[in-house]
Chain A
């Protein structure tokens, strides 16, 4: 009887989870991409369609999952729930899941995933994963997923095409800041108002915006303009 109740609750929870998973993947589907990390097995439980098989080929992130059953070097908090709080010694080298990464561990205690000179994506870089670990055939498939997330602009200088503009806080910002502060510190805030705010040689914002809209209507190329972002390509 009790088991029946629990089973009902579990099934209900699974249905809700499946519904949530369907919602959460809407954005992905709307742009024609699927994300195997979002489409978790639990999200398809209870559905008629066979759910995708979980393994280390389809889930590259699994490579840096701690195998707590087999690897005692991992953080000792793997048991879900029902355990009292335990210090994790977050800053000490001994704490880190040393078996989870083949890449060089630095003396500062932080595990480093892959990186320059590492074996990430080649062979089986995740030694020590225990019996769950399968030979990792590189990141080609995993990287294939994340090529949609990765963009080369992520390592380019986002300010390289910019010229410094002298900071000119809006006038009303200063005024309203004074009013925000209690009287006890209003005198101190007044000192901030003494900070010189040099005028910029820019045109007024309204003019600037009007020009921007006119230009946008003309479909001018952004990247060809001086001072504009170079990473939109």
Chain B
């Protein structure tokens, strides 16, 4: 117990609170008092009912963080269940830092930028189909190995499967009182100032660029003013290695040396976001190793705990459990008012060509957007829109019957959020004749067509820019193996 906490018990007016709430910090209690319009900072009103409510609601939330998922949901969930048993704890939430591989069927594999040897269904489709149910609510961002066609359906974020939530290409969501932001993809300078020009059917070039971070999405994130507790990015912020044990990192990954020295290891936009948002926690993946850093924003400023994690393999450090004070409210996902306001404000200039966004055409006022969203949320509630299956799911007993659809699905969740915000649907600017999946019935006919297995294989996609040396197989062969961050 800290010195401040031991000097004065602010709860001596209430036996119940005094007995059970003494261990909580006064600033947290002040936040908890807010819904009750308690103006006594750090103290509770002499109301036993209030105190009992706090007792019920105040909790330490345990959040598990995973590095690169690579579709291996089964193993990650099983490891967490094992961890729960061994540690005798309960995990409230799982966060995944990209390369989630939300592959629903064989056709989705065609949008996945991986070497052919890794192109397999893995286990996400079981959760998408409902064959399995996730034991933990899961939130993820995209990385550089994704079913990009599916993630594009959910550009604004949404349920990729029941209880598995995609944060969007950029997004913020709340889980209980914890505010979680994220940026999908990885940074490549040559695509950064371009729009989201990739259209289905993706060319090989599109498959390797669609996950590159775009300035527009970063710009939206930079508009955030309210505190963010946790932020996720797939690649690391440039310079983060300065705030951790770089010596240990270089022992593990000696080939990072040059990039660290040149300041090119990681994402520059992520660096800018780290400096602006200053979240309490920042989690990343991509480089397949565990790396911690502790960032101090200015002298006496707030700090950010950074952690990068590995991918799920035996003996690898791909998981971390942290404890956060969760405060009031149930542990469930809620839409974020500020993020929706920002989305409403900037949607009109969403760049869907190679050209960057023209912010001169933003005519909405952020305060008005806030008020608009606030009113709408008050009416509708803040629960995310319901999950809806779009593409058919993989059927292992009939692999040849899968993946017939080649077009773009208008995901009902995306339509719902845009309708909620009274915004135009802009995502697929394709000729109408090539949009066969605008309605739920559209793939009924699609599934009746025999699946042509010759359509599955695509050319090798070893992106020399994205695929770098990695210790994925044998750390002793790091220097000789070009197998990619995957």
B-contacting residues of A (Cβ < 8 Å)?
6, 9-10, 12-14, 16-17, 20-21, 23-24, 26-28, 30-31, 33, 35, 37-38, 42, 60-61, 64-66, 68, 74-78, 80-91, 95-97, 100-101, 106-118, 120-121, 139, 142-143, 145-151, 153-155, 158-159, 162-170, 172-173, 176-177, 180-182, 184-185, 192, 195-196, 198, 200, 202, 205-206, 208-209, 211-213, 215-216, 222, 225, 227-229, 231-232
Contacts and interface: CB of A to CB of B under 8 A. Distances in A.
Contact of B245 (A61, A147, A227): A227
A9 B398 CA distance: 10
A115 B83 CA distance: 9
B400 A9 contact: yes
A61 B89 contact: no
Given A114-B81, A116-B89, A185-B219, 14 more contacts: A9-B450, A112-B136, A120-B81, A150-B83, A154-B320, A165-B244, A170-B239, A176-B189, A181-B219, A192-B275, A195-B275, A209-B246, A229-B244, A229-B290
Nearest to A119: B85
A162 B293 contact: yes
Given A109-B332, A110-B136, A149-B312, A205 B219 contact: no
Contacts of A202: 242
Contacts, number: 367
Contacts of A147: 82
A172 B295 CA distance: 19
A173 B263 contact: yes
Interface stretch (B201-209, B368-376, B381-389): B381-389
B453 A9 contact: yes
Interface of B: 74-75, 77-92, 105, 117-120, 123, 126, 128-137, 159, 162-163, 189, 192-193, 215, 219, 238-239, 242-248, 250-251, 254, 257, 260-261, 263, 268-269, 271-272, 274-276, 290, 292-299, 303-305, 307, 312-315, 317-321, 330-333, 356-360, 383-384, 386-390, 392-402, 412, 440-441, 443-444, 447, 450, 453, 472-474
Contact of A61 (B74, B119, B304, B384): B74
Nearest to A6: B400
A33 to B, nearest CB: 5
Given A9-B453, A167-B295, A192 B272 contact: yes
B317 A153 contact: yes
A7 to B, nearest CB: 10
Closest 6 CB pairs of A and B: A113-B135, A115-B90, A77-B130, A148-B314, A164-B296, A212-B247
A81 B402 contact: yes
A221 to B, nearest CB: 11
Contact of B131 (A27, A65, A90, A196): A65
A143 B82 contact: yes
B319 to A, nearest CB: 5
A151 B133 contact: no
Contacts of B133: 64-66, 74-75, 96-97, 100, 111
Contacts of B472: 27
A61 B134 CA distance: 10
Nearest to B136: A113
18 contacts: A24-B120, A77-B389, A81-B398, A84-B444, A88-B389, A89-B386, A97-B133, A110-B92, A113-B135, A116-B84, A118-B84, A159-B294, A163-B294, A164-B303, A168-B239, A180-B215, A182-B358, A229-B292
Given A78-B129, A154-B319, A173-B268, A205 B242 contact: yes
Nearest to A158: B292
A138 B320 CA distance: 24
Contact of A142 (B78, B86, B251): B78
Contact of A182 (B276, B356, B389): B356
Given A27-B473, A155-B89, A164-B295, A88 B387 contact: yes
